[in-house]
Amino acid sequence: MYYEDKGAFTGEIAPGMVKELCSTVILGHSERRTYFCESDELVNKKTLAALAYGLRPIVCLGENSEQYELGETQSVIKAQIQQSLAGLNEQQAQQIVIAYEPIWAIGTGKAATAAGAGHVIHFIRHTYAEIYGESAAQAIRILYGGSVTSANIGEFMAHPDIDGGLIGGASVKNDFVEIVRISAEAIQS
């Protein structure tokens, strides 16, 4: 989704057009950041546009393998929150969904552990509370995405800090039905 309401932006779609068909939009996905050079500032413009049109943005955050190996995960995530979600008012801050998707885990078959992802998600919620207040931090949902499969979704769903999954490649495979089933069981228990 592009942030402008109208104009010739080939390959993009205006938020008003998205609103006609959808209620939620994924912004800041690592593929968009990598292949289309989307910056945190552009993700911020798109987030504000989505909210202005009544869309619920799922804003993706995550570190690459080098940042992960250098122990920079928290500083990278904090900067992404501060820049990608700048300028939200109290009501808008409560409408955000964040997806923690470590770039090193996307499509690689190397998923973070539930404990590792939970630790980062706990940090995300804490950072969000520092910026937008405790009520906003408790209102938002924070998902994990990155090589989620039917073999590991149960662990992620069982972790108290993880609110759900952002399923990528597995969503177009037969395994997706099993991921949904396991997730539904985890929510009901």
pLDDT tens, residue by residue, 87-146: 999 899 999 999 999 999 887 777 799 999 999 999 999 999 999 999 999 999 999 998
Task: Return the bridge partners of 97, or none.
Answer: 58, 141
Cα dist from 125 to 106, 111, 140, whole Å: 22, 21, 8
Instruction: Please state the domain extents for the chain.
Output: 15-188
Does the reported pTM lie above 0.95?
Answer: no
Q: What does the block give as tokens for 68? A: 């992960």
Domain 15-188, second-level architecture: Alpha-Beta Barrel (3.20)
Q: Which of 72, 101, 134, 178 is catalytic?
A: 101
Q: Which of 29, 38, 63, 159 is catalytic?
A: 29
pLDDT value at residue 18: 92
Supply the DSSP symbol for 25.
E
| Nearest Cα to Cα of residue 100 among 72, 82, 85, 80 | 80
Q: Residue 180 above 80 pLDDT?
A: yes
29 is catalytic: yes
Tell the residue number behind the tokens 């992960």, with chain if given. Answer: 68
119 is catalytic: no
